[in-house]
């Protein structure tokens, strides 16, 4: 296990904030978590981190940050059609997606290029282009930092919801590995019906997993900032869900309002609400609203966590004033 003190988190948060932590532990074997337990690390505050791609860290942290560096990927069970693949929490998510494609396994190709690591995929229930991690997660192995034991949860026990799960609430659990159920060629079904995915693939006679990956990568690159170039944490807000009555009220005032019907109401793209309020491409100091996708707040260079939080609050106020809708951050705020 690696241990660093007074450690800079600059390269561990995709907003690119210059913050630090008192201690940084990087473990390569899951048993090392028991060692941290014995040292009393889990008695106070601590923060598990993947690649810091969904975090807004406001200040220096006077407590430990813990990162998995378990990078194994193994096939643990196979049938004619399916394959169970177990990946360590420290595997870079997009490298995992590439691995599945090179093994001709379908299921996560639409989640190409999402920043972060495997460990965050169940926590956030990451999703894009019509697929969510919950669709393929079969089991999640966790370490319980209160009880000092390892546990395995079935996918059905993870309380997955839109960008959330039991792991967002039960903060004592650290994800150690995730087992995905993937589908072998030629049995997988491609999901091409979100946005312009099918359009980007037009002209191909047969569509491979790699073709879908390439299309998703192209779409993402055209809309989303690369964390290596512009600091951001992907979508900053969740898309709000409103009731039928509320939706009808909105539609009367805004007949062109985009929406998706979901189980508990109508999901309205926050990007649209933010654009309508005139925020697209705007900045307050070094904190900005990305011009190509206004759901993404960016660090134009030298912004601090508090600058992003100020911008967040101004956007929330505008959307509340104009639409009577409360936007909630999707990014985890570490204050």
Q: With respect to ligand EPU, which residue has the nearer C-beta, 128 or 142? A: 128
Nearest-approach distance from CB 247 to ligand EPU, in angstroms: 15
**CB contact set of 53 (below 8 Å; sequence gap of 6+):** 13, 14, 115, 116, 120, 227, 233, 234
Nearest-approach distance from CB 146 to ligand EPU, in angstroms: 29
Distance (Å, whole) CA 327 – CA 277: 13
Binding mask 188-207 for ligand EPU (x = CB under 6 A): ------xx------------
- For the beta carbon of residue 74, count every other beta carbon within 10 angstroms: 11
By CB under 6 A, residue 275 contacts ligand EPU: yes
* Orientation of helix 209-223 relative to helix 93-102, angle to 10°: 150
Q: With respect to ligand EPU, which residue has the nearer C-beta, 20 or 53? A: 53
Distance (Å, whole) CA 72 – CA 58: 32
Which segment (19-27, 38-46, 176-184, 288-296) binds ligand EPU by CB under 6 A?
288-296
Nearest-approach distance from CB 321 to ligand EPU, in angstroms: 18
Is 163 assigned a catalytic role? yes
Catalytic residue (choose from 117, 163, 213, 220) = 163
**CB contact set of 262 (below 8 Å; sequence gap of 6+):** 241
Output phi, psi for 58, to 5 deg.
Answer: -80, -45
Scanning residues 245 to 274, which ones bind ligand EPU (CB under 6 A)? Answer: 258, 269, 271-272
Joined together, the tokens standing for residue 309 give: 């939080």
Is 235 assigned a catalytic role? yes
Is 53 assigned a catalytic role? no
Output phi, psi for 144, to 5 deg.
Answer: -95, 110
By CB under 6 A, residue 240 contacts ligand EPU: no
Active site residues: 163, 235, 330
- Residues of this chain that interact with ligand EPU (CB under 6 A) are 128-129, 194-195, 223, 234-235, 238-239, 258, 269, 271-272, 275, 293-295, 330
């Amino acid at each position: 296990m690696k241990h660093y003190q007074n450690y800079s988190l600059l390269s561990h948060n995709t907003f690119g904030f210059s913050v630090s932590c008192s201690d940084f532990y990087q473990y390569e074997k899951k048993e090392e978590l028991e060692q941290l337990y014995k040292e009393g690390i889990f008695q106070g505050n601590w923060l598990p981190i993947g690649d810091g791609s969904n975090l807004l860290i406001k200040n220096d942290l006077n407590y430990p940050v813990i990162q998995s560096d378990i990078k194994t990927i193994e096939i643990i069970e196979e049938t004619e059609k399916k394959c169970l693949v177990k990946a360590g929490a420290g595997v870079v998510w997009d490298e995992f997606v590439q691995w599945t494609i090179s093994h001709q396994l379908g299921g996560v190709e639409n989640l190409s290029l999402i920043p972060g690591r495997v460990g965050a995929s169940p926590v956030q229930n990451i999703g894009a282009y019509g697929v969510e991690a919950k669709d393929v997660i079969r089991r999640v192995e966790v370490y319980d930092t209160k009880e000092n034991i390892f546990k395995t949860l079935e996918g059905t026990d993870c309380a997955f919801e839109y960008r959330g799960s039991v792991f967002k609430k039960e903060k004592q659990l650290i994800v150690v590995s995730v087992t995905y159920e993937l589908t072998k060629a030629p049995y997988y079904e491609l999901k091409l019906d979100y946005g312009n995915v099918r359009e980007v693939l037009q002209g191909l006679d047969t569509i491979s997993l790699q073709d879908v990956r390439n299309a998703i990568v192209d779409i993402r690159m055209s809309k989303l900032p690369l964390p290596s170039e512009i600091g951001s944490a992907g979508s900053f807000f969740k898309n709000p869900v409103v009731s039928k009555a509320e939706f009808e009220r909105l539609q009367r005032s805004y007949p062109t309002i985009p929406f998706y019907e979901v189980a508990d109401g109508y999901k309205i793209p926050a990007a649209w609400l933010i654009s309508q309020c005139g925020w697209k491409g705007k900045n307050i100091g070094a904190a900005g609203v990305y011009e190509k996708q206004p759901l993404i707040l960016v660090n134009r260079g030298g912004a601090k966590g508090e600058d992003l939080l100020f911008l967040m609050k101004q956007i929330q106020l505008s959307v509340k004033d104009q639409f009577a809708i409360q936007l909630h951050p999707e990014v985890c705020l570490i204050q």
